[in-house]
Amino acid sequence: MVVAVAPSRDRADVLTDAIARIAELWGLKNAKLGAVLGVSMATASRLRSGETRLDPASKSFEAGQFLLRLFRSLDALLGSDDSAAKQWLETNNLDLGGKPIDQIDTMRGLIEVCDYVDFYRARV
């Protein structure tokens, strides 16, 4: 007997949908989302609308994974309070030398902010 199993969603679908949801919750415009992922504003718009997906072999996919990591870390640290996470991102941080939202436009900045939040999350 053969049992048909519905194909599971692939990594690209799951990550792209998660990134679109994060952008919505944090109020990221297409230009900002594009800067974070390293894609054009038009591509960011297509990602959000579901017209295209992140390619698992691309740097934008890797950046998306770090953005998801940041979201999950802030979510755990701040008790799933999306408005508090957004406020934290937009507040000047002396340890990071600026607003985290401004620093996540580069891969290096995104990784540094992730590491910073993970460090504090580990202390809890």
pLDDT of 9? 61
If you write DSSP's letter for every residue of 8-69 in order, what string do you get? Answer: PPPHHHHHHHHHHHHHHHHT--HHHHHHHHTS-HHHHHHHHHTSS---TTSHHHHHHHHHHH
- How many Å apart are CA 110 and CA 67, to the nearest integer? 7
More confident site: 22 or 7: 22
List, for residues 44-90, the tens digit of each pLDDT value: 999 998 898 988 889 999 999 999 999 999 998 888 888 888 999 99
Measured in degrees and rounded to the nearest 5, phi and psi for residue 86 equal: -65, -45
Residue 79 DSSP one-character state: T
User: Do residues 52 and 3 lie in contact, with contact meaning Cβ atoms separated by under 8 Å?
Assistant: no
pLDDT of 6? 42
Angle (nearest 5°) at CA 103 between 85 and 91: 40
pTM above 0.75, yes or no: yes
Q: What is the mean pLDDT of residues 10-24?
A: 91
List, for residues 22-57, the tens digit of each pLDDT value: 999 999 999 999 999 999 999 999 999 889 898 888
User: Do residues 38 and 110 lie in contact, with contact meaning Cβ atoms separated by under 8 Å?
Assistant: no
